[in-house]
Amino acid sequence: MAGRRVPPELTMDDSVSYLHSLKETFHDEPAKFKEFLKLLIDIKAYRINKVYGIARMIELIKGHPKLLLGLKVFLPEASKELCQSHKRITRAT
């Protein structure tokens, strides 16, 4: 279809690159990085609710726009939670 843009398929390299960026960002806060990884694993294994896990991930990487954008790429469900978080923050100020 003309005019329609199809997003590229994500690769394992994309995932590794995102996690590498995350690890670099939190090199001085390894507990945050480990918690983020644990949340990913727990979501995939259905041990925690996806909405809760995404909300917690967003909280962990708050203040890092590139990481937040990357999260939206890998977990499209994060877009909705990010919008809701932004609305709560905007209302509070």
Per the structure, the complete domain to which residue 67 belongs is given by 29-92
For residue 16, the SS3 value is: helix
Whether residue 42 is contained in a domain is answered as: yes
Domain assignment of residue 38, yes or no: yes
In tens, the pLDDT along 48-70 reads: 998 889 999 999 999 999 999 88
Give the count of domains, the chain.
1
2: in domain: no
Q: Is residue 77 part of a domain?
A: yes
> What is the band of 91 on the pLDDT scale with cuts at 50, 70, 90?
low
3-class SS string, the chain:
CCCCCCCCCCCHHHHHHHHHHHHHHCCCCHHHHHHHHHHHHHHHCCCCCHHHHHHHHHHHHCCCHHHHHHHHHHCCCHHHHHHHHHHHHHHHC
Flag whether 22 is in a domain: no
- Could you report the per-residue pLDDT of 5-22, keeping only the tens digit for each? 656 677 888 889 999 999
Residue 49 maps to a domain: yes
Neighbours of 58 (CB within 10 A): 20
Q: Is residue 71 part of a domain?
A: yes
Residue 43 located in a structural domain: yes
User: Whole-angstrom Cα distance, residue 62 to residue 26?
Assistant: 12
